[in-house]
């Protein structure tokens, strides 16, 4: 089985500054690893090790392809064009580009981070590949040629079994515990990165999504009580009783 892990496919929210008028300034358009990407790499390695098959990283845009190589992925493919996914708002477009790149690798198991800000990308990626998808995954392995997947939904831990091909979207349980050290970073430089031009991929078009502006969220319509603690506490308890939540 071939496992493909998709990483570094969205802009860095840390590069955005929100001004007082609600407009957003992007210091750069660079694509960086998302906060779930490290967990996606870990799950992809679990799958590849359990199966004994190979593992390839796929990344798009001008991001750092060696990011996954420093985390134990032996080789990567990069769709080179920097503006490949636009501003990322049309998640079907992002997914179509990723799907074209993944398809060219002939993947059996595709692993991607289940990023909150881009919640539609993993499912649309699976849609473009015509494969089933499991979202919110925490762990996966392979046994008897089938993929065993663990995830938690609504306070229940589910174990699922699925035949390849399948897309697994992994939600990180927290930040990466140990970033790669100098040794891993140097080793990553020696691992191969193959560059693929966007024009070589068959990417279907979707309807144009035109950004027309940003604003600050509406101020909440919270009822705020101020003043003497006894009065404010009594007012809150009365309000909560009226809501029927006590």
Partner 1 sequence: MSREAWALVAAPRQVAATVRTARTVADRVTVLAVGPREVADAASAAGPDRVLWAETADGRPAEALTVPVADAVAAAAPDLLLAAGDPAARALLGAAAARRGAALVSGMLALRADGDALSIDRTALDGEVVATVTVAGPVAVLVDGDDEPADAATPAPVEPLTGQVAPADLVLTATRAAEGGSGLYDAARVVSIGRGVKAKDDLALVEQLTAALDAELACSMPVADDLGWVPKDRYVGRSGQKIAPRLYLALGIAGMPQHMEGIRDAKVVAAVNTDPDAPVFRAADYGIVGDLYEVVPALVAALGS
Q: Annotate 148-174 with three-state secondary structure.
A: EEEEEECCEEEEEEEECCEEEEECCCC
> Binding marks (x or -) toward partner 1, 119..138, rule CB under 8 A?
xxxxxxxxxx-x-xxxxx--
Please list, in sequence order, all residues whose beta carbon lies within 8 angstroms of the beta carbon of residue 46, skipping any fewer than 6 positions away: 139, 140, 141
User: Which residue, among 107, 109, 86, has the nearest Cα to 97 in the 3D structure?
Assistant: 86
From candidates 27, 106, 173, 192, binder to partner 1 by CB under 8 A: 173
Residue 161 contacts partner 1 per CB under 8 A: yes
Smaller CB separation from partner 1, 186 or 211: 211
- What residues from 185 to 214 belong to the interface with partner 1 (CB under 8 A)? 204-214
Query: Residue 56 in contact with residue 88, Cβ under 8 Å?
Result: no
Query: Residue 149 in contact with residue 160, Cβ under 8 Å?
Result: yes
- Which two structure tokens, joined as six digits, stand for 164? 């390849």
In whole angstroms, the minimum distance from the beta carbon of 192 to partner 1 comes to 30
Query: Residue 116 in contact with residue 10, Cβ under 8 Å?
Result: no
From candidates 83, 179, 186, 216, binder to partner 1 by CB under 8 A: 216
From candidates 83, 163, 179, 186, binder to partner 1 by CB under 8 A: 163
Please list, in sequence order, all residues whose beta carbon lies within 8 angstroms of the beta carbon of residue 57, skipping any fewer than 6 positions away: 4, 5, 6, 7, 41, 65, 68, 69, 73, 75, 76, 77
From candidates 118, 142, 196, 201, binder to partner 1 by CB under 8 A: 118
In whole angstroms, the minimum distance from the beta carbon of 185 to partner 1 comes to 26
The region of 18-26, 42-50, 69-77, 186-194 touching partner 1 under the rule CB under 8 A is 18-26
When computed from its CA atoms, the radius of gyration of the chain, rounded to whole angstroms, is: 22
Residue 84 contacts partner 1 per CB under 8 A: no
The region of 59-67, 102-110, 188-196, 223-231 touching partner 1 under the rule CB under 8 A is 223-231
Smaller CB separation from partner 1, 186 or 237: 237
């Amino acid at each position: 089985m071939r496992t493909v892990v998709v990483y570094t496919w969205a802009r860095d929210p840390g590069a955005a500054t929100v001004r007082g008028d609600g407009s957003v300034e992007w210091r750069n358009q660079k694509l960086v690893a998302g906060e779930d990407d490290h967990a996606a790499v870990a799950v992809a390695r679990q799958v590849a090790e359990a199966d004994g098959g190979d593992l390839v990283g796929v990344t798009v845009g001008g991001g750092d392809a060696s990011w996954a190589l420093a985390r134990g992925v032996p080789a990567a493919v990069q769709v080179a064009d920097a503006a490949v996914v636009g501003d990322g708002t049309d998640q079907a477009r992002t997914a179509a580009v990723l799907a074209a790149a993944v398809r060219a690798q002939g993947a059996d198991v595709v692993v991607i981070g289940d990023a909150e800000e881009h919640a539609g990308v993993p499912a649309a990626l699976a849609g473009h590949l015509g494969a089933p998808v499991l979202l919110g995954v925490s762990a996966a392995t392979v046994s008897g040629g089938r993929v065993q997947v663990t995830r938690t939904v609504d306070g229940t831990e589910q174990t699922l079994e699925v035949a390849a091909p399948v897309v697994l979207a992994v939600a990180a349980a927290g930040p990466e515990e140990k970033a790669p050290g100098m040794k891993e970073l140097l080793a990553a430089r020696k691992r191969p990165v193959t560059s693929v031009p966007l024009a070589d991929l068959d990417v279907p078009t979707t309807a144009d999504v035109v950004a027309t502006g940003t604003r600050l969220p509406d101020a909440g319509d919270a009822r705020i009580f101020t003043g003497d603690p006894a009065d404010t506490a009594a007012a809150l308890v009365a309000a909560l009783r009226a809501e029927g939540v006590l």
